[in-house]
Structure 1
Amino acid sequence: MRVNRRVGLGAAGVVLLGGLLPVQAASAAQLPATLQLECETANPDIRVPWSADRPFELAGGVDYNRVCVAFIHNLPPAGLAGLRASYTISAESVTASGYTAQQLSRTIVMNAAITDGGGLQSAETWPWKVNGDGSLTMESPVFSVLPHGPGTTANGAITMQFSAGSGLRSAQLPGQFKVTGAQGTVQAGGGLHYVADGKSFPTGTAGTFKPVTPVRALDTRSAIGAPQAPVGPNGEVTLQIAGANGIPATGVTAVVLNVTATNATQNSYVTVYPHGQSRPTASNLNFTAGQTVPNLVTVPVVDGKITLYNAAGTTDLVGDIGGYYTSAGTGSRFTTAGPTRVMDTRSAIGVPKAPVGPGQEVTLQVAGQNGVPATGVTSVVLNVTATQGTTGGYVTVYPHGQSRPTASNLNFTAGQTVPNLVSVPVVDGKVTFYNAGGSTELIADLAGYYSGTGSVFVPTGPTRALDSRNGTGGVHAPIQGGKKVNVPIDSWRNGVPPFGATAVALNVTATNASTAGYVSVFGGKQATPSSSNLNFTAGQTVPNAVITPVGGGVWFFNAAGNVDLVADVAGYFTAN
C-alpha cells in the first residue's frame, strides 16, 4: 500500500485547510471518542476536511488516488478494544449514481492501514458487501486503540488508499464512516466524487465455480455443437453454453473450456471470446499446420454463448467443458496453493516411479496434501505436463472412481513435452490420469483448489497485459535465460484492481524461443518455484493457461535462451 509519509499519526507540519473538524454523532449509544476525517490534496503538506459536503475526488482509471485519514481522538485513558470501522454508501446514493451496487463494488476499491501509538495493526483491503437494501458497506477487521507507554494517550488513525477503475459517467456518492465498539458508535459523513475517465472496461458478474466431469460440447469433425466442417480463415463458430450439456440456462457468468485445434492447414491462432462482443486482439491457441494443440480457456458467457475465431487456413475445433461460474452463489470458491509439484512419475512424487503405459491410469491423492484441505474440496487446478511419450497420444484427467469421459486434456506426439492447465472435480480426495497410447511420463503442479471458502471469479477479458515484442506491460525485449521480469498485472489498465485481487487467470504464450526451455509464472511476493507452466523447443510458439497469485505484480521466469512472452488476462479472483 502506498501511504504518504505525512499522513497518519504524528503528521507534524501538515496544514489543514478549513480548520479542525472533529465530528461525533449525537446518539444514546455514543462511543467515547471523536472522529476527524481529512484527505490529501495535490500538495502533500496540505489536507482538507473530508465530509458529506466536501467529498473526496476519486479519479477513474487511476491505480493510486490520494489518501484519506480517519483520526480517532479523545478516547478514555485506557483506550478502547474490540473496535470495527466501516464505510457505507446508502441505497439512495447507489441508485442516484446510475450504477448498480455490483458495478460500484467492482469499480471502487480501498486498502486501509490501521495504526495507534504502538504502530501498524493491520493493512488490508476492505471488501464491499452488497446489503439487502441495496446499500454498500466495506468493513475493517476488529482492532484496538490503546495507550503505549507511561503517560501516553490513546489515539488511532485509519489511512485509506482509494482506487477506481474506468467508467463512462461520474457520480456523487455520499457516504458514512463509522467506528463501533461495545459502548456504542461514533460516525461522520465522508462522500466520494467519482470522476469517470470516459472509458468502458468489460467487467462481468462475479461467480462461484461449479465443476463438471469433462463433457464434449464442440467438435467440428462430427457436428457436435456446430456444423460438421472445419473453421475457415477469418471464420467463427458460436457455441451455446447455457442450457446445454447440463449447464443451467441462466446465471452462467463464464465457462471453463479445454479447446483443441487439430487438422490445421496453415499456421494460425484461435481467439475465444464472449458472444456479441468485439473480438479482442488476444489469442488462446497458436499452432502450426498439422499440429494438434489444446489449451484451457476461461471466457465470459454473454447471451448464453461464446464465439471461437480462427485466423488463417482451416482447422477443426474441439471443446470440452470442465466447469462454469454462476452468479447464483451455489458454487465453490478458489484458493491459491502453489505452484507446487504434486506428481512426477519420473521421481516418484505423488505416484510410483514409472512411465504411464498405454491404456493405463495413475491416481493422485490431492485432498489433505500440499496445503489442500482434507475435506470440502470440490475441484483442483493442476498444470499437467506429458513428456517423453513413446508415441503420439492423449491424456484425460477426470474424477476418481467415475466413468472415464471421451474428452482429452493433453494431446502430444512422440518425444514432445506438452503442458496444459486442468480443472478437475475431486472425488474421494483423488483425481485420475489416463494415458491413451504408448508410454509417457506425467507431471502435475498444483495451482489451487475450490471449496466452500476462498475467492469468487470476476471475468474481464481477454485483455493483453504483456507483450515483450512491442513493450506492452513495460517489457521491451525478449526475456533472457535465467532472468525474470515483474509485470504489474494488478492494474486497472488490465481490468484488475491494484489491490483486493487474490489471483488472476492468464493465457501466457511463449514465442521466438532461441532454444528449448521453460517458463514459470508466479505471484509477485513468491520465490521462484521449481515447477513450470510452459515448455517449448527452439522456434516453437506455445500457449498455456495460468492461474497465479497476484499482489506486487506477477513474475515471469525464463530458464534458458531468449524468449518473447505474451500474457492475456481472462479475469481475477477476489474475496467478494
Structure 2
Amino acid sequence: MRRSVISGLAAALVLTSAGVCGAVAASAAPAAPAATTGVADGAFVSLKPARLLDTRGGSLARPLNAGEVFNLKVNGRGGLPSSGVMAVVLNLTVTGPTRAGNIVAYPKGAAVPNASSLNFVAGDTRANLVTVPVSSDGWVSIRNAVGQTHVIADVQGYYVGSTTTPPAGAVDYFPDTPWRALDTRTDADVHALKPNTYVVQSVDYGTETPNISALAINVTAVRPVAKGYLNAWNGDENAIPNTSNLNFAAGQTTSNMVLVPVTHSTGTSGQALVDFAVGNASTGDVDVIIDVVGVYSKGDGLRFRSAGSPKRIVDTRTGVGTTTLGAATTRTVTAPSTVANSSTIALVTNTTAVKPTAATYLTLWETGTTRSAASNLNPAAGQTVANMAMVGLSQNYQFNIYNNAGTTDVIVDVAGRFDISPNFSGAPGTAATFSAQKAPKATSSETAPLR
C-alpha cells in the first residue's frame, strides 16, 4: 500500500510552548530505523538565514524595472556549497513597488514560467518563502512583471543535487499532522509580543528529538499595532540573523512559511528539546501564531524532487484544476502526472488567494484526512496573497482546498514534490511520517529583548 505509515517512525508528541527558560513535559517515542547507504539527492540542508540580495544597496542599488530579469548567483554563497545544489529555499521580499504586480523566481536559463512567486500591491512590503531550482552553474533568475520594485532574498537552506555522499547536515523531510505550537491570543503564558522582543519555542519529539535539524512552520502575525516584521532563527540569542521572514502592515494579518533551523537543549526533567525563536521587529505589539507542518530529521523519509520551472495546476479564474471557492467551501484537486507519481507523498506549492470578497483564510490538506485548525493563507478582502504550502496527497493524488469566508479565486503553482527516499528499507511503497499526539499545554514562558 503506497501510503502505509512506518510505525517505527510515528513519534508520540506532547508539546508545550516554552519561553527562554521554559520546560516541556513529554512522552517517549519509538526510535527511527537506521538510514541505509545510497544516494543523497533531494535531502535538505538547513542553513543559518543569510541575505543574498538586497537591491536597495550593493552593486545594483536600484529597483527592478518592469519585465527585468535579475540573475542571482546562489552557489558558494550564504553557506551553500559551490556545487551539488538541486534547489534553494529563499525568503523573497518586495518593498516599495510602484504598482500592483508580481515577481517569479526560476532556474537561470529557463523560459519565464506561467507562475508567480510573490504578489503585491503598490507601496507594499511583503514576503513569501519559495523553493527554486538552481541552474547547472548555480544561479536563479528573478523577474519583475510590471512597474518597479526592490527585491530582497534571504536563504534558509537547500536541497542536495545528485550525489552518493551526503553533505554535512543533510536530512530527510517527515510531514506532520499540522498542529499549533503557539497562539499568543489564547496562550496562558505568552501574550502578544512586545516591540523588539522574541519568544523561544521548545519542542519535544521524544527519542526522535536529537535527530531533528529544522522544522517546517507556518507563522502568522495577527493584527499588529504597527508595521514591521517577524524573524525566525534557531533561538541562539548570540546569533540573531539580520534577515526577515514575515513583513506586515498595521492591522494586517499576514502568514508565511519558514524552514527554521533548531538548536538542541535539555529540559528541566532531562528530556531532549529542539528550540527555535520568533522575534517582533516593530514598534508595536503583535499576536503570533505558529503551526508546525513537518520535520527535517535524520532517517529515511521523503526527498525533494524538482518540477523544473514552477508548474500551474490550479487557476480557478479559468477553471484549471477546480473552480472558484465560495464561503465555507471545500474543493478537491487531483495532482496531474506532470507533478506527481507513484512515489509522491506531498507537493511543495506556492498557493495564491486572488482578491477574496471578504477577509478569510485558506487551508490545504490531504484528501481523506481531517482538516486541521491550521491555516495556510490569511488574505484580507481584495488582497492577492501567496504562501508556500507543503500539502500531502491521498492515494488518488488528491488534496483539498478550503475557503472560510466570501468568494475567492485560487492559484496553485508546484515547485516540486516529496517522494519516498530511494534508501528506504521498509516495504515497497511506504512512507515515513511523524504523528502528533495533541496534549494540553502546561508550562511557563518568557520573552527576551531582540539585540
Q: TM-score range by the shorter chain?
A: 0.7 to 0.9
Deviates more, 1:205-214 or 1:431-440: 205-214
For the 8 Å contact 1:367–1:375, the answer to whether it is kept is no
1:244-278: CA deviations, max 9, x gaps?
Answer: 22211110110000000111001110010011001
Number of equivalent positions: 365
Q: Which has the higher contact order (CA 8 A, sep 6+)?
A: 2
1:508-519 correspondence runs (5 A): 508-519=351-362
1:245-264 correspondence runs (5 A): 245-264=78-97
1:5-404 correspondence runs (5 A): 123-124=1-2, 206-223=41-58, 227-302=60-135, 303-327=137-161, 328=163, 329-330=166-167, 331-348=170-187, 352-368=189-205, 373-401=208-236, 402-404=238-240
Question: Residue type of the partner of 2:403?
Answer: N
Question: Residue type of the partner of 1:414?
Answer: A
Listed as ranges, the gaps of 5+ residues in structure 1 are 1-122, 127-204
Scaled by the length of structure 1, what TM-score is found?
Answer: 0.62
For the 8 Å contact 2:362–2:402, the answer to whether it is kept is yes
CA distance in 1, matches of 2:180, 2:373: 8
Listed as ranges, the gaps of 5+ residues in structure 2 are 5-39, 265-273, 423-451
Scaled by the length of structure 2, what TM-score is found?
Answer: 0.79
1:67-108: CA deviations, max 9, x gaps?
Answer: xxxxxxxxxxxxxxxxxxxxxxxxxxxxxxxxxxxxxxxxxx
Question: Residue type of the partner of 1:462?
Answer: P
| Counterpart in the other structure of 1:571 | 416
Structure 1 position 206, deviation (Å): 4.0
For the 8 Å contact 2:3–2:345, the answer to whether it is kept is no
| Counterpart in the other structure of 2:440 | none
Question: Residue type of the partner of 1:519?
Answer: L
Match among 305, 330, 346 for residue 484 of structure 1: 330
Structure 1 position 348, deviation (Å): 1.1
CA distance in 1, matches of 2:204, 2:73: 33
Question: Which one has the largest radius of gyration?
Answer: 1
Match among 310, 313, 316 for residue 465 of structure 1: 313
| Counterpart in the other structure of 1:58 | none
| Counterpart in the other structure of 1:131 | none
Match among 523, 534, 541 for residue 384 of structure 2: 541
1:355-412: CA deviations, max 9, x gaps?
Answer: 000111101113427xx93221000000000012111111100002251101000111
Question: Residue type of the partner of 1:556?
Answer: I
CA distance in 1, matches of 2:349, 2:41: 17
CA distance in 2, matches of 1:389, 1:376: 35
| Runs (4+) off by over 3 Å | none
1:215-246: CA deviations, max 9, x gaps?
Answer: 000000012xx522100000111100111222
Question: Residue type of the partner of 1:464?
Answer: R
Q: Secondary structure at the match of 1:555?
A: strand
Structure 1 position 125, deviation (Å): 7.7
1:546-565 correspondence runs (5 A): 546-551=389-394, 552=396, 553-565=398-410
